[in-house]
Amino acid sequence: MGKTMVRAAKTGIVAGMLAGVCLPALAQESLADTPQPGGIEDIVVTAERRATNLQDTPIAITALSAEALASQGVAVINDLAATVPNLTSTTGAQGSADANFFIRGVGQFDFIITNDPGVGVYVDGVYLGRTVGAMLDSGDIGRVEVLRGPQGTLFGRNTLGGAISITSKTPEAGAFGADVRATYGSRDRIEVDGSVNVPLGGENALRAYGFYREQDGFARNALTGDRFGATDRHGGKLQLRLAPSETVTVDLSADYSLDKSNPAPSVLRAITAAPFFPATAANDIQNRNDFYTVYASNSPRARNEVYGFSGTITAELGSATLKSITAYRNLDGFSTSDPDGTRFRLYDQAVTTQQEQFSQEIQVSGDALNDRLNYLVGGYFFRERAEQSLGLCFAPITDTPTAPFNNCNTWTQQNNQLTKSYAVFGQARYKLVDTVSVTVGGRYTWDDKTIVSNQFFDFRPAGVGFGAIAGFGLPATLLGQRVAIPIVTDLPAAQKFEKFTPKLGVEFTPNSDLLIFASYSKGFRSGGFNGRLIAPQATVPSYAPDTNDAYELGFKTDLLDRALRVNGTLFYSKYKDIQQTISDPAVQFRVANAGNAELYGFELEVTAVPTEGLRFDIALGYTHSEFQDVPALVGPINGNQLPFSPEWTVGLGAEYQADLGSLGTLTPRVDFRYQARTYFTAFNLPLEQQAGYGILNGRLTWKDADRRFSASVYGLNLTDKEYYTFGQDALTSQGVAYTYLGRPREFGITLGYSF
């Protein structure tokens, strides 16, 4: 049976399973999907941990509904960068399921567990502690909110750049429904997902969701024929809503996903002479005329198994609301990569990650003083146990060092880290007069981190047994020598950090269609440990916290009877003691407090509905970023642009919904995203950057008059732009410079049915 037939059979089985449980579904459109009389729709957000209207919320937010995510082709949350100003993302240097975000130049691209993200990701109010395995599927998302700027008061630690808050579709009482969708596209892209909503009487309901995704890779290993950049993941979610009384609601959730996608490949861009580099390795430097052909000594693979449970209890207590959010999550990840991009085992890496976390949050919110005061106070606890093993195979040691896929020396680093975080927080907004309000908030966080690290170097000539560690079993020419560095066992370290992160704001609403706001907010990320020791150490090196002080002036307005919406924000930030992963010739890679940075810029978002069915979206972002006061030991980066901080991001979208009467509607949509020159590291070197480029996507969607059947044809990266997503110029420390490839053009069709 051919490969395509096997996949078709697998798809049929999955479709049958989903159809059995997820017969065509109720379209659970959020308020964001429901146009209001007079023009652009209202959007309800929870950016302040309570439900408010987007246009009444004094924060720089982009909110996307499920329908908007689908129409713009957002398959996983990393795709959000195509729609949100001053937001960039990368999977980083390891694994296809990593979600590393940068907002206004602040973020983190390193996957190592000793580094925390700079932009927090939250799902239904639950913080995800690791970027590894956090590339969430968009199929069951009801709404995504991207909050720009520090969110240290209501969201907490590690949100000094901002936060991405994801709200799942929820069970609905009183109506049975289901939906199912299937996609076929380029490189045998096969996707099936569906959901079912089951009322259980009263206000109780159950919702189940499942998905399956598979697609061949887009790059080919010239040596083996293996494909790189393939997709292979499946999972599901079960939610139960219980209403034991009129004032109490209980939401229970369980989710599972398994991602075995083949990571995108790296390609060699340049190489310098090194004692163990075969002379012919330079032959594997990328040919730009053959962009997607790679050479690799292994076929990168990844496996990320993630599951979690959460329970949210909401109780109405008269004028106040009590909410409890309890959650547990578990990650078991493994990935391999070949950063040097040659057929030789110069640097082959394997990483295993195991992480579990428990969190508990209590909130009390309400209104007082004749509704002139609204407030939210709470407490938070987070505990994370993370274990990670980094294995690097380098420097060929066979008798024929120029042979491909040969044996090599090894370095192994193991980190076992425990993090406990405690916080109390609160925010209040008081209406001084009908048109002017002031906001005051603060959060105090205590973080305790402990780590145990060990490492092992194994440097042995070909044919020499493991006994060489003790000086035994060596050839006569090497007798008495130890050619391997012994294990460094149980090297412990501990650090404590605490910080107060305040917020102050003032809001002016001269009329119901205009909000002007100004604010100061602070974010912080606790310090940590350098998880790559590289050379034997007496203690585990550490680094200090970094902070971000941000000042904003913004406005939100609806004009022309709500046919035009214009939201804009000016910002200025002082980013201090920046935690930066840098290349260091002495230790290859380490995290350093790389001085400060000045960040300033703006975001402008415009939505126009000039006539019924016609819609235009504009998202414009500008960020100026510059390293300042950099310590000499970090390197020559003063004045450089921050990583993943392009000066300009531009998003343009247009659609027209044509009414075909009894035949339904036909909606063509085009989206264009431009991202200015982007540097992948702080050193801004020529071989670790991507010049400015644009990506054009298109979609044509038909829906029947009852909006039960739908069919879409789509094209992604229609101009087939060739671009890089990450890279490092490590010629000084490793002798190689390499970059990772972006995805090429693809086409497909999606069919859906719901009731």
Share of the chain above pLDDT 70, in %: 86
CATH superfamily membership of 3-754: TonB-dependent receptor, beta-barrel domain (2.40.170.20)
Identify which has the larger pLDDT, 659 or 730: 659
Is residue 17 scored above 80 in pLDDT? Answer: no
72-76, 294-298, 518-522 — most confident range: 518-522
Is residue 56 scored above 80 in pLDDT? Answer: yes
Mean pLDDT of the 518-523 span:
97
User: Smallest Cα–Cα separation from 318: which of 243, 247, 245?
Assistant: 247
Cα-based angle 605, 609, 610 (whole degrees, multiple of 5): 120
Is residue 26 scored above 60 in pLDDT? Answer: no
pLDDT in tens, 605-637: 999 999 999 999 999 999 999 999 999 888 899
User: Smallest Cα–Cα separation from 533: which of 458, 453, 469?
Assistant: 453
User: Smallest Cα–Cα separation from 30: which of 150, 113, 126, 144?
Assistant: 144
Burial 197-220 (b: 16+ CB within 10 A, else e): bbbeeebbbbbbbbbbbbbbbbbb
Is residue 6 scored above 70 in pLDDT? Answer: no
Q: How confident is the model at residue 588 (pLDDT cuts 50, 70, 90)?
A: low
User: For all residues of the chain together, what is the average pLDDT?
Assistant: 87
pLDDT for 9 equals 37
pLDDT for 96 equals 60
pLDDT for 25 equals 32
How many residues does this entry show for the chain?
755
SS3 54: helix
Is residue 725 scored above 60 in pLDDT? Answer: yes
pLDDT in tens, 494-509: 999 999 999 999 999 9
Domain boundaries, the chain: 3-754
pLDDT for 134 equals 67
Contact 131, 92 (CB under 8 A): yes
Q: How confident is the model at residue 123 (pLDDT cuts 50, 70, 90)?
A: very high
User: Smallest Cα–Cα separation from 209: which of 231, 179, 233?
Assistant: 179
Q: How confident is the model at residue 465 (pLDDT cuts 50, 70, 90)?
A: low
pLDDT for 14 equals 34
Q: How confident is the model at residue 592 (pLDDT cuts 50, 70, 90)?
A: confident
pLDDT for 489 equals 65
Measure the CA–CA gap between 123 and 98, rounded to whole angstroms. 16
Is residue 5 scored above 50 in pLDDT? Answer: no
Which has the minimum average pLDDT: 47-56, 400-409, 526-535, 585-594? Answer: 400-409
Mean pLDDT of the 462-484 span:
45
Mean pLDDT of the 199-209 span:
96
Mean pLDDT of the 96-112 span:
86
User: Smallest Cα–Cα separation from 639: which of 573, 684, 669, 676?
Assistant: 684
Measure the CA–CA gap between 329 and 534, rounded to whole angstroms. 31
- Determine the straight-line distance between the first and last CA of the chain, rounded to whole angstroms: 36
pLDDT for 587 equals 55
Identify which has the larger pLDDT, 252 or 406: 252
pLDDT for 426 equals 97
Is residue 403 scored above 80 in pLDDT? Answer: no
pLDDT for 407 equals 64
Measure the CA–CA gap between 558 and 42, rounded to whole angstroms. 11
pLDDT for 411 equals 80
For residue 28, the Cα-to-chain-centroid distance in whole angstroms is 25
Which has the minimum average pLDDT: 104-113, 534-543, 635-644? Answer: 534-543
Mean pLDDT of the 206-215 span:
96
Q: Where are the beta strands (DSSP E) in 434-561?
A: 436-458, 488-511, 514-525, 528-529, 542-543, 546-559
Mean pLDDT of the 554-574 span:
97
Is residue 417 scored above 90 in pLDDT? Answer: yes
pLDDT for 41 equals 87
Contact 647, 676 (CB under 8 A): yes
pTM for the complete prediction? Answer: 0.89
What sign does the dihedral 457-461-467-472 (CA atoms) show? negative
Mean pLDDT of the 474-485 span:
44
Q: How confident is the model at residue 719 (pLDDT cuts 50, 70, 90)?
A: very high
Mean pLDDT of the 595-612 span:
96
SS3 134: coil
